[in-house]
Amino acid sequence: MSSRIILIGPPGAGKGTQAARLSEALGVPAISTGDIFRANVKGETELGTLAKRYMDAGEYVPDEVTNSMVADRLAQDDAAEGFLLDGYPRTSAQVDELDRMLAAEGKEIEHVVELTADTDEVVARLLARAQTEGRSDDSEDVVRHRLDVYEEQTQPLTDIYRERGLLRQVDGLGEVSEITERILDTIR
């Protein structure tokens, strides 16, 4: 089964949860740009210091920074046979850069899975997560702003991938394990 996969969807749709489960099921690494940024913030690296300003405001980290971080990650051995990208690409410039990175290796994306969930549901999930995980970007105004940025900059990417015949839409509402099955069904 082919497994160069992008997971796309609004904040709170459950991409991270599903990415971990799919990674296990498919035997490819889940690569989350948000997790890599958060690890850098925690480790107080230069990249972390730069990214934190944007993340706390609910803005996207600049494309050049994100693109070079992803290029480094995809060059690692474990990603040679496939990967699941969670949270990348998020802008059309990132789509172009990812295309270039893969083309250089004679590879391409095989599936783009869009996890859908309505705004009320994702806001409720993110505010609940704020209580348990204390992520600094889960306050109500930042959550709303992240959703606006998603709608404006990332939602349009689904059209690009639909035109390429790669888009698979999956309902993100339901039991976690059921959603994993739905995703596996669409890519099998």
Applying CB under 6 A, the residues found at the interface with ligand ADP are 11-12, 33-34, 37, 54-55, 58-61, 66, 87-88, 90, 94, 137, 146
Closest by CA position to 73, among listed 96, 54, 101, 109: 101
Pick between residue 34 and residue 82 the one whose CB is nearest to ligand ADP.
Answer: 34
Residue 6 phi, psi (nearest 5): -110, 135
Rounded Cα distance, 45 and 47, in Å = 5
Question: Helix, strand, or coil here: 61?
Answer: coil
Determine whether 144 is an active site residue: no
CA distance 136 to 6: 25
Q: To the nearest whole angstrom, how small is the minimum distance from the Cβ of residue 7 to ligand ADP? A: 10
| Cβ proximity to ligand ADP, 61 vs 112, nearer residue | 61
Minimum CB separation of residue 35 from ligand ADP in Å reads 6
Name, in order, each residue with C-beta under 8 angstroms of 66's C-beta and a sequence gap of 6 or more.
Answer: 33, 60, 88, 90, 94
Query: Is 90 an annotated catalytic residue?
Result: yes
Q: Which is nearer to ligand ADP, 111 or 146 (CB)?
A: 146
Question: Residue 164 catalytic?
Answer: no
> Cβ 34 to ligand ADP, closest distance in Å?
2
- CA nearest 31: which of 94, 76, 92, 97? 76
100 vs 106, beta carbon nearer ligand ADP: 100
Rounded CA separation 172/122 (Å): 10
Q: Which of 15, 38, 52, 182 is catalytic?
A: 15
Establish whether 135 is a catalytic residue.
yes
The answer to whether residue 129 is catalytic is yes
Determine which one of 38, 52, 73, 90 is catalytic: 90
Cα–Cα separations (whole angstroms), residue 49 to 54, 86, 136:
10, 22, 14
Task: Provide, rounded to whole angstroms, the least separation between the CB of residue 81 and ligand ADP.
Answer: 22
| Annotated active-site residue in 4, 125, 146, 182 | 146
Could you list the active site residues? 15, 90, 129, 135, 146
